[in-house]
Amino acid sequence: MGRGGERRAIALANPGLNGRPFATPTLWAAIQYLMPGENAPEHRHTQHAFRFVLEGEGVWTVVGGDPVAMRRGDFLPQAGWNWHAHHNATRAPMAWIDGLDIPLQYITEAQFFEFGRDEISEAEQTTPERSRSERLWGHPGLAPLAASARPGTPGSPLLAYRWEQTDRALADQLAIEREGYGGTVEPGHAAVRYTDPVTGQDVLPTIRVEFHRVVRGAETAPVRETGSSVYTVFDGSGTVTVGDKSWSVSRGDLFVVPSWQPFSARSQAGGSDSDSGALDLFRFSDSPVFEALKLNRTLTEGNTK
């Protein structure tokens, strides 16, 4: 196995892109799989990237020498040109989504790649409960004043957004809605955006990342947006409509929404009282690029902005 061959990644090639291994014209998506006892060697690249964990726990990534634990539902952003490696010391495999802006950087001839060390330091061979980035930046509304804590590269200095916090934020939005105070995007549709605690802007310069929850039996309003998106069904089941096509989706499915195609989602009705029945959707898009170029446009049920 060659250097880097330990990374088992299956790129999701959109059949509408003439054989190119891209999910959309600007976004790359893949499923990466790390077996028990394996190490994915250190490297860095100019592409902005993230990992969203679909299955497993006990694996950790090391970004710039900071060991960060990975568990199902965790979102781990990583701005370009940061050294990183992954380690699985457990007896079970882990699977996650890799999202990068490879197509965008390919078009602009801005991408570069370097291999790093073959061996990791002793301090990186285990992972603490909380990484250094979480201890510094994981306190809502509180940012460290020390200049040494500031990131040296663009993108969020917080390297892990934990599922427990995402789940709680969505549940609280829906609870406040039920109390009659609003707080959701629309009835039965809660959503959050992962943001940079330094700037309050998108967590990565070229990629916007969100999580949406559609309660059992609810349906979102059709929305058109410039730019493209990749969705993953984290949990639940339902029906999604993209353009004039509709299909059923369930946990683990991925799909793409092209630029200016209307998109809506409906959570499956029914289920037991003990089952929330919500359709949980993880989404990433190229919206920051379109906003920077002043090409962003949204149309929702006949209203433009």
Q: Which domains does the chain have, with CATH numbers?
A: 8-149 (2.60.120.10), 163-304 (2.60.120.10)
Q: What is the mean pLDDT of residues 142-147?
A: 91
Cβ partners under 8 Å of residue 251, min gap 6: 233, 234, 235, 236, 237
Q: Share the mean pLDDT of the chain.
A: 92
C-beta of residue 166 within 8 angstroms of C-beta of residue 75: yes
Residue 146 burial class via C-beta count within 10 angstroms: exposed 0-12, middle 13-18, buried 19 and up = exposed
150 versus 224: the higher-pLDDT residue is 224
pLDDT at 121: 78
pLDDT at 161: 98
pTM, entire model: 0.94
pLDDT at 270: 65
pLDDT at 218: 97
